[in-house]
Chains A and B, each alone.
Chain A
């Protein structure tokens, strides 16, 4: 009977494929999402983008496509008023290309390390970028030595403002609220990889162990070691880390093998996605599906504006109840 059940299962999968094919085809005729300039009551202040290449994709092609996706996302984010953009790819191709992306997006650009209170500290131009910045104590007792959160942060001032504003060489602290109507808020970019995820949490554990190991170990001292969510959060979302995104878009840059692929997070840091809204779209163009193409060369599809706008519209409709 198992062969009968298996045969029926194959038939069921065939019917399901037809159903999803038709649904994907009809998705091409969905309502067009509102334009970027459309007023929305809810706009994410922090957007995350997970870019997923295929294992079969050529490295160089994938990297070019990832970079193009980031450039597009940065441009649209600025237009909409999103002030923070986090981009993640599992293998860290974007982190390694952060300098190149920075140069392309903003000339000249300044590297800053924003804190979570939204006020910004500007340093004089001092490349290179660093993803292993020296740590700072988060409490008098604990010093986050050698914590490696593997987050590369870049702050990009608005290119329009840079053309007209005088250069300032001294360090200054700028309150966000004092930005005039002539200035656009800068865009902060965080580049993440798998190393920013669970390995970062392990790095924090090692750091705490090093701190605690300095003291004599007794059963009482073991019981006295407590780690609070607030402390862990201040490390992960602090200067070396990145804050929780409001909206996360998952985009596959390689053609899919099926027309219905559920959302996966591909190792995105778990701590920061507690209340994040997710958005991903199945591939709607059947002619991109790998099994329909005649050419053996894989094509890459950067993030497109329609998908971006649709994510914003969906976020605009989301209701946050926060447990209530």
Chain B
């Protein structure tokens, strides 16, 4: 009897802790949303395998936990009214991994894409429009079918854009964009001198999906490289944030300082503009 009572008390305590945590999370999101919010955030979801090794789990489980983290971050971004989320799900280079791991990733991709098509999924619940950016022809047919189904199901959603970059390479994207620019210019018989960087930008995969400019790029697991991800999009006015947290562990409390840094930048920019206007300083 007393054992059952202890179990009930423990269960109740866990429920209270969870409720307090959810309330604190919602309160934190409401506070953050009172300031400037980025329109487009990209994630390099790095560290699934090292996380799995650290937790003594199979590599496939690490990737599965990584997907849970992605869903968690998409929900957070939706609550913050972030317009667009891009995630580096699979690089063209990742085909070099072992066949066993690549097959497991294809199975995971197919299963999760089909889950996203279900009623009540994150796409349905939050009005998320899915774009898969990359050379999908490199994927097995079953994955391509799942991609088409998920994109078709969400194409009328307009609250948030989710770009899943897979299999993706930024140099491949830039090359294709230049190729498309030249072909279009030939078709329209444009003068070469009229071609500008804006034309190339309009042919990028992110532009085709109407994604806003990239404000923040976050890479987890401590690596400080871009690894061929969104090179064109992030080389100008994007904050690059590198965190040592492994991706499956990444959550709101890792995200808060990143949003605070962005808000400081926006506030600094607006006060800098006012200061220069007032002082009439000689600008570079």
A binds B: yes
Please tell me if the beta carbons of B284 and A225 are within 8 angstroms of each other in the complex.
no
Complex CA distance for A59 and B265, rounded to whole angstroms:
23
Distance from A320 Cβ to chain B, minimum over Cβ atoms (Å): 8
The one of B186, B196, B225, B228 in contact with A217, judged by C-beta atoms closer than 8 angstroms, is B186
B interface bracket (residues with beta carbon within 8 Å of A): 35 or more
Hey, which chain B residues are within 8 Å of A5, CB to CB?
30-31, 33-34
B31 to chain A, nearest CB (A): 5
Measured CB to CB, the nearest residue on chain B to A264 is B239
CB-contact partner of B97 in A229, A257, A323, under 8 A:
A323
A-side contacts of B107, CB under 8 Å: none
Instruction: Determine the chain B residues whose CB is within 8 A of the CB of A265 once the complex forms.
Output: 234-236, 238, 240
B207 within 8 A of A: no
State A264–B268 Cα separation when bound (angstroms). 15
Judge whether A318 is part of the interface by a CB distance below 8 angstroms.
yes
**Cβ-based interface call for B151 (8 A):** no
The answer to whether the Cβ of A56 comes within 8 Å of any Cβ in the partner chain is: yes
List the one stretch of A30-38, A167-175, A194-202 in contact with chain B: A194-202
Bound CA–CA A269/B231 (angstroms): 9
Tell me the bound Cα distance from A275 to B170 in angstroms. Answer: 11
- Summed over the interface, the residue pairs from A and B with CB atoms below 8 Å come to a total of 184
Q: Is B93 touching A91 in the complex (CB atoms < 8 A)? A: no
Query: A106 in the interface, Cβ–Cβ < 8 Å?
Result: no
B87-115 near A? 1/0 per residue, CB < 8 Å? 00001111111000000000000000000
Contact A209 B182 (CB under 8 A): yes
Tell whether A96 is near chain B: CB-to-CB under 8 Å.
no
Q: Say whether A212 faces chain B, with CB atoms less than 8 Å apart.
A: yes
Complex partner residue of A13 from B175, B182, B260, CB under 8 angstroms = B260
Segment from A77-85, A119-127, A276-284 that makes contact with B:
A276-284
Which of A198, A227, A276 touches B225 (beta carbons < 8 Å)?
A276
A178 CB–B CB distance under 8 Å: no
Residue of A nearest to B32 (CB): A9
Distance in angstroms between the alpha carbons of A199 and B195 in the assembled complex: 10
Query: Within 8 Å of chain A (Cβ to Cβ): is B75?
Result: no
Quick check: is A104 within 8 A (CB to CB) of the other chain?
no
CA A265 to CA B195, docked complex, whole Å? 24
* Max chain B Cβ within 10 angstroms of own Cβ: one of A9, A62, A206: A206
A270–B179 contact, CB under 8 A?
A: no
Which chain B residue has the least Cβ–Cβ distance from A199? B197
Complex alpha-carbon distance, A318 and B92, angstroms: 22
Measured CA separation A201–B182 after assembly (Å): 12
Asked if B178 and A277 make an inter-chain contact with CB atoms under 8 angstroms apart, the answer reads: no
Contact mask B30-57 → A, CB, 8 Å, 1/0? 1111110000000000000000000000
In the complex, the answer to whether A56 meets B283 with C-beta atoms within 8 Å is yes
Nearest B-chain residue to A221, judged by Cβ? B186
- With A213-B192, A278-B224, A324-B97 in contact, do A208 and B178 touch (Cβ < 8 Å)? yes
**Taking the complex as formed, is A262 at the interface, i.e. its CB lies under 8 A from any CB of chain B?**
yes
Is the pair B178, A13 in contact by a Cβ cutoff of 8 Å? no
Interface residues in A218-234 (C-beta closer than 8 Å to B):
221-222, 225-229, 232-233
Q: Which residues of A contact B232 (CB under 8 A)?
A: 198, 270
| Residues 1-43 of A contacting B (Cβ, < 8 Å) | 2, 5-6, 8-9, 12-13, 16
In the complex, chain A residues whose CB is within 8 Å of the CB of B234: 265, 270
B224 x A209 contact (CB < 8 A): no
Given contacts A205-B181, A323-B96, contact A12 B236 (CB under 8 A): no
- Specify the chain A residue showing the minimal Cβ separation from B97: A324
Q: A58 in the interface, Cβ–Cβ < 8 Å? A: yes
In chain A, positions 89-145 with a C-beta closer than 8 Å to chain B are: 91
Decide if B65 is an interface residue (CB 8 Å cutoff): no
Report chain B residues within 8 Å CB of A232: 171, 174-175, 178
> Is B119 engaged at the interface, CB distance under 8 Å to the other chain?
no
- Closest chain B CB from A318 CB (angstroms): 7
> Within 8 Å of chain A (Cβ to Cβ): is B237?
yes
Chain B CB within 8 A of A260 CB: yes
Give the residue of B32, B231, B281, B284 whose beta carbon is less than 8 angstroms from that of A53: B284
B1 to chain A, nearest CB (A): 46
Instruction: Please state if A227 and B178 are interface contacts (CB–CB under 8 Å).
Output: yes
The answer to whether residues A205 and B182 also contact, given A5-B31, A9-B35, A278-B225 and a CB cut-off of 8 A, is yes
Q: How far is the CB of A148 from chain B (nearest CB, A)?
A: 12
Given A268-B235, A273-B226: A260 and B181 within 8 A (CB)? no
Within the complex, the shortest CB–CB distance from B33 to chain A, in Å, comes to: 7
Give complex CA distance A267, B236 in Å.
Answer: 4
Further pairs besides A59-B284, A270-B235: 14, Cβ < 8 Å: A6-B35, A8-B31, A53-B284, A56-B283, A197-B235, A202-B200, A229-B172, A232-B175, A258-B264, A265-B238, A266-B236, A275-B225, A275-B226, A279-B224
Q: List 10 A-B contacts (CB under 8 A).
A: A16-B260, A55-B272, A55-B284, A56-B283, A205-B185, A207-B192, A262-B241, A265-B235, A277-B225, A323-B91
* A residues adjacent to B (C-beta < 8 A): 2, 5-6, 8-9, 12-13, 16, 53-59, 62, 91, 197-199, 201-202, 204-210, 212-213, 217, 221-222, 225-229, 232-233, 257-258, 260-271, 273-279, 314, 318-319, 322-324
